[in-house]
Amino acid sequence: SSRSEQNGSSHKSSIQGSEAFLRGVLESMQSVYLNRNPTAKAILELVHSAENNPLCYDHLAFRTFGVTGYGIDSMASFFLDYGYTRREELRFPAKKLRALWFSPPADSQDGGGSGIKGPLPRIFISELIVDQMSPQTQEIIKKYIASSGNGNQYAALASSLGLLTWEKPSYSEFQQLASESEYAAWTLVNGHALNHVTISAHRLKTELRDIKNLNRFIEESGFRLNSEGGVLKVSPDGLLLQSSTVADSMPFQFSDGATESVPCSYIEFAERLVLPQYKNLPAIEVKEFHRRDGFEVGNADKIFESTSKDQLSRVG
Ligand code: OOG
Ligand code: NI
């Protein structure tokens, strides 16, 4: 048998062509994220070592400015080209946001490893409904979008390189956006960077597969969880349970010379329970498709707050 089979990496070496490229791009996006977000990196290492088993990612999330050609589509086109399927839309009228999620190609490989090297994650992409912002805010967003040229065609490339496609803003422009939409301000300085990765709690093997235990473990290890509406977010059907950390911050050099701390990314946890029609399946036979799929507006609305000033400045 071949050398790769002997050392147990035959799965990995069997993924070729477009799927290998897709996974390579996701790895690059993740490495930008891990370099900028020490909390996310530490938690991934902590859970991985406590488990001693591969981790699965439930989903990856991105934010965009909803201006024609620059919104959800600018990031989605990459995933659609690599076999993802468009699923439901979610609306957040109070936050002036909308989102779409995408499911991974059905014929994708299990990956045989941990994280990006495991089963391909869902993708969650949101956009700011820019034409509902004040004229000043719209003007700033449109100015930076114009400075990016055809940057909207390279959202995935920018994300995997960790680059903004537009010029750096001034601190006062950042503050103007933040006063109206913290999402807008976040997107202006983080661009297409990965907003979060989500660990699939129910696919863990230890007692951490119960999200309540996972939350306790994370908090006892000294990390802060987003407390908006309570730490555990539960969908009305009771089947989708989510929690997330408070985002890390990073110094950002603004175009006017000011260096100020801005919120970066966070890490999320999701537990999907078995659908009622499959509740009698033996645990060992339960697959991902037997579980609650999709997202939930009420949960998501609170998870967006993981990058908010309120959560970042919370004490204890
Ligand atoms: C996305 C928040 C929503 C989920 O899983 O419902 C979310 C964001 O903060 O951009 O991640
Ligand atoms: Ni999420």
CATH number at residue 56: 3.10.180.50
Q: Is the pLDDT of residue 7 over 50?
A: no
Which of 62, 268, 292, when mutated, tests ligand 1's pocket best, judged by the most ligand atoms within 8 Å of its CB?
Answer: 268
pLDDT at 3: 40
Q: Is the pLDDT of residue 11 over 80?
A: no
Residue nearest to atom 5 of ligand 1 (CA): 300
Q: Is 126 in the pocket of ligand 1 (CB under 6 A)?
A: yes
pLDDT at 4: 39
3-state secondary structure of 43: helix
Which of 177, 174, 176, 156 is CA-nearest to residue 165? 156
Q: Is 304 in the pocket of ligand 1 (CB under 6 A)?
A: yes
Between CA 174 and CA 186, with CA 180 as vertex, the angle to 5 degrees is 45
Residues near ion ligand 2 (CB < 5 Å) are 61, 268
| Host domain of residue 302 | 20-312
57: in domain: yes
Indicate the helix (H) or strand (E) that contains 233.
strand 233-234
Residue carrying structure tokens 């993708």? 123
The average pLDDT across 122-144 equals: 98
54: in domain: yes
Which of 243, 238, 213 is CA-nearest to residue 306? 243
pLDDT at 206: 98
Each residue's pLDDT tens digit, 251-280? 999 999 999 999 999 999 999 999 999 999
Count of other CB atoms within 10 angstroms of residue 235: 19
Q: Is 269 in the pocket of ligand 1 (CB under 6 A)?
A: no
pLDDT at 61: 99
- Domains: count for the chain: 1
Residue nearest to atom 9 of ligand 1 (CA): 304
Q: Is 240 in the pocket of ligand 1 (CB under 6 A)?
A: no
User: Where residue 289 falls among pLDDT bands split at 50, 70, 90?
Assistant: very high
In the chain the first and final C-alpha atoms are separated, in Å, by 56
3-state secondary structure of 11: helix
277: in domain: yes
Q: Is 124 in the pocket of ligand 1 (CB under 6 A)?
A: yes
% residues pLDDT > 90 (the chain) = 92
185: in domain: yes
Count of other CB atoms within 10 angstroms of residue 313: 8
Q: Is 61 in the pocket of ligand 1 (CB under 6 A)?
A: yes
Starting from the CA of residue 264, give the closest ligand: 1
118: in domain: yes
Round to whole Å and give the CA distance between 59 and 119: 10
ipTM of the prediction greater than 0.95, yes or no: yes
Atom of ligand 1 nearest to the CA of 62: 10
Quote the mean pLDDT of the chain. Answer: 95
Round to whole Å and give the CA distance between 168 and 299: 32
CA torsion 222-37-204-10 (nearest 10°) is -140
pLDDT at 270: 99
Strand 122-129 versus strand 240-244 pairing type: unpaired
DSSP state, residue 103: E
Q: Is the pLDDT of residue 161 over 90?
A: yes
Atom of ligand 1 nearest to the CA of 304: 9
Count of other CB atoms within 10 angstroms of residue 22: 23
pLDDT at 315: 65
Count of other CB atoms within 10 angstroms of residue 119: 17
| Residues paired with 291 in a beta bridge | 274
Radius of gyration of the chain (CA): 19
Q: Is the pLDDT of residue 110 over 70?
A: yes
7: in domain: no
59: in domain: yes
| Residues paired with 101 in a beta bridge | 124
Each residue's pLDDT tens digit, 224-252? 999 999 999 999 999 999 999 999 999 99
11: in domain: no
Which of 91, 126, 303, when mutated, tests ligand 1's pocket best, judged by the most ligand atoms within 8 Å of its CB?
Answer: 303
